[in-house]
Chain A
Amino acid sequence: MSETLIEVKGLKIHFFTDEGVVHAVDGMDLIVERGKTLSLVGESGCGKSVACRSLMQIVDSPGKIASGEILYHRSVGDGFDEIIDIAKLKPTGRQIRAIRGKEISMIFQEPMTSLSPMYTVGNQITEAIRLHTKVTKQEARQMAIDLLDKVDIPKPERLVEEYPFRLSGGMRQRAMIAIALSCNPTLLIADEPTTALDVTTQANILDLMLGLQKQYHMALLFITHDLGVVAEIADDVAVMYLGRIVERSDVDTVFNAPKHPYTQALLRSIPKVAMMREELDPIKGMVPSPYHRPGGCPFHPRCAKAFAACRTIAPSVTQLGENHTVRCLLYEDLAGNKVTEQSL
């Protein structure tokens, strides 16, 4: 059994709209490792949510996976893996439905809209359990109560009968987590799970997720735009800009020795608690319209270190360290030889 759980290669997701084709994800490469937390960071519109939805084949129309591979290393026991290309599966097919919600499950940002108002919390958890495992209604109900207990919900036997509108935001998110965990997933995708919550609730939910991750030994793919949250929970970080991963490394390197100008600029632009007050250093301009992507390196119009070549040459991936890749011409020898970090 290899350490790699999901390997995304050259993924492109296009949205075919009336105004033109939007390249939401444009050649993304990403590796998710077993049992680790990978944080996907980026501003709104950078394609992080769509990319993660594609791992479960739930990209909404008019979006389509145009090309690329999503290789899922499914463990079949005895240390052997079976490799499935999720990108090739039919979104409504039997195979993906066996994976979706069971082996790969997802938590969404808005806990009110992702739970159905028409069914009790218990109903919604048992639905997931009974879809994927052969258990009786009674057993499923007991499992649901155990799950709610695991996510620290007080009096779970009472809560299974409640409708979602009776719960607070934090409680709803806990119920969502219970549903996501109901079938022991190998990968949990969390799409901005704490953005809609207060900071004290957010802290509790983050602690809970980290505890459960250890307990279930699952991989966690955590999508967020909040760098503070990333610093708290991630093992590895991938920074995304306009549909591409621009930098990927372990969390310490990304925060303390970032290499890509976008990562550096992002870190400079956040106000820090308990630091002396100083003027913020924002990134100039804004994320360009998806219909008019800049040529060359898509970040060049906002980049402080851009030079002439950035306008025409799209940077490729440069390996800086064992676990550190960056997509920037600064680190690329244009003659074709890779520059070392020291020579910069």
Chain B
Amino acid sequence: MIDQVQALQNTTHPGAPPSVAAQSIATQMKDDSLLLEVNNLKMYFSITRGIFARVKGYTKAADDVSFFIRKGETLGLVGESGCGKTTIGRCIARAYAPTAGEILYRQADSSVVDLAKLEGEEVRPYRKDIRMIFQDPYSSLNPRMTVFELISEVLKVNKLVKPAQMKEHVEYLLERVGLRLEYMQRYPHAFSGGERQRIGIARALITNPRLVICDEAVSALDVSIRAQILNLLEELQADFDLTYLFISHDLSVIRHICDRIVVMYVGKVVEVADGIELFLNPRHPYTEALMSAVPVTNPRARKAGARIRLHGEVADPSNPPSGCYFHPRCRYAQTVCAQDEPTLRRLDGGRYVACHFAEELGLRGATMEQ
């Protein structure tokens, strides 16, 4: 199996230089402050045709993705639909088996394990450490289970708690996420979207996890409810010492909750930076375009006309353009962009950018409000 993976790794990009960023990140796992480190992660989905399911090609949902998450921080993963951000989250939670790459996870006793290499039952012990909160509070809860059953299921399956203490555990968490204890015997249909999301959060936190992957956790909620859930997530992070990987397409939410942000485009990381820095000084043209597209909540700062318009469509991950994937839509593109693929490079201030001209371009950040 490992041979196959290596063979695939070698054949997919013949002649491509090893990513510099990956090397520099790889040395950092010695650093105690890192909880998770993703190195050159690849997740390819095969496209099949015909009754014998002949493999026709690959959709490269995540291609050579490298980043790390520090203990106790909130890392944002942002990008347009189809850029592979959910795929990355699912790989880390090991809902998918990655095609290649490393997912180094530091356990509580500070030993390091590569989650990407685990198979079958070996993954199970880490399932309680790394939990997920899903986007759609309507389809992510089994309608035939009561709130108590939903939340305690994982404890029962993993035999984490004696049945007699189960109720106590669930009660404690229900209270923490702001649900009333009487709700325990009710079914999901009796709850509103915000309450269901609270159930989803309780379900994720019941195993006392260390890393929580929030996959568009507030996208389906109304503004007033969204603010409640965002505050709750921040509160719980402080109380339970949690680390979040926060996946979202909504930049204002990402800005609000994240310490550092990873920007993705068609399966690749294009920029990594600290929260406010990314917004004020983007270094990748795609980040600049994203920032410029965010509506500003002040009519006096309207951007009409001044906005950067991205032409064309997001590239197809099964048939990506040559060189930099963003070059057909990039307004700064030069000939080299169509030929050479830029690697993710480290710049000053803990920032990583995958652009040939990151240093030369003076890019515009988000407009300051008020």
Taking beta carbons and an 8 Å cutoff, which residues of A are in contact with B?
Answer: 43-44, 168-171, 198-204, 206-207, 210, 225-229, 231-232, 234, 251-252, 255-256, 265-267, 269-275, 277, 279-283, 286-287
Contacts and interface: CB of A to CB of B under 8 A. Distances in A.
B110 interface: no
Given A199-B251, A200-B310, A271-B252, A210 B366 contact: no
Interface stretch (B13-21, B152-160, B219-227, B349-357): B219-227
Closest 5 CB pairs of A and B: A228-B295, A282-B227, A271-B256, A203-B293, A283-B224
Contact of A227 (B80, B223, B289): B223
B297 A231 contact: yes
B293 A202 contact: yes
Category for how many chain B residues contact A: 35 or more
B299 A251 contact: yes
Contacts of A170: 313
Interface string B281-319: 000000001111111111110111101011001100000
A203 B255 contact: no
Nearest to B279: A274
A273 B279 contact: yes
B19 to A, nearest CB: 26
Chain B CB within 10 A, most for which of A168, A204, A228, A232: A232
A196 to B, nearest CB: 9
B108 interface: no
Contact of B302 (A231, A280, A281): A231
A125 B210 CA distance: 54
Interface stretch (B1-9, B56-64, B180-188, B228-236): B228-236
B97 interface: no
Nearest to B368: A274
A256 B370 CA distance: 10
Interface string B253-297: 101110000000000000000011001100000000111111111
Contacts of A232: 295-296, 299, 302-304
14 contacts: A199-B290, A200-B310, A202-B293, A203-B307, A228-B295, A231-B295, A267-B297, A269-B224, A269-B226, A272-B369, A273-B369, A274-B365, A279-B234, A280-B227
Contacts of A251: 299
Contacts of A169: 81
B169 interface: no
Contacts of A270: 223, 227, 252, 297
A272 B279 CA distance: 11
A256 B301 CA distance: 12
A281 B300 contact: no
A277 B300 contact: no
B195 to A, nearest CB: 8
A282 B80 contact: no
A279 B251 contact: no
B296 A228 contact: yes
A286 B297 CA distance: 23
Contacts of A200: 80, 289-290, 293, 310
Contacts of B289: 200
A282 B314 CA distance: 35
Contacts of B237: none
A275 B366 CA distance: 10
Given A200-B289, A207-B309, A272-B252, A228 B227 contact: no
Contact of A269 (B227, B300, B310, B367): B227
B227 A274 contact: no
A204 B309 contact: yes
Contacts of B226: 269, 282
Contacts of A286: 192, 194-195, 224-225
Contacts of A281: 227
B249 interface: yes
Contacts of A266: 223-224
Contacts of B280: 274
A233 to B, nearest CB: 8
Interface in B237-257: 249-253, 255-257
B194 A231 contact: no
A220 to B, nearest CB: 14
B297 A228 contact: yes
Nearest to A237: B299
Contacts of A231: 295-299, 302
Contacts of B297: 227-228, 231, 255, 267, 270, 272
B231 A280 contact: yes
Given A252-B300, A279-B231, A274 B367 contact: yes
Contact of A198 (B249, B256, B291, B292): B249
A23 B22 CA distance: 59
Contacts of B307: 203, 207
Contact of B298 (A43, A255, A271, A282): A255
Contacts of A275: 369-370
A227 B369 CA distance: 14
Contacts of B295: 202-203, 206, 226, 228-229, 231-232
Given A231-B297, A287-B222, A199 B227 contact: no
Given A269-B227, A274-B367, A283-B227, A203 B253 contact: no
Given A229-B295, A265-B224, A271-B252, 14 more contacts: A203-B292, A203-B309, A227-B297, A231-B298, A231-B299, A267-B297, A269-B224, A272-B256, A272-B297, A274-B368, A280-B230, A280-B231, A281-B227, A282-B224
A271 B230 contact: yes
B224 A204 contact: no
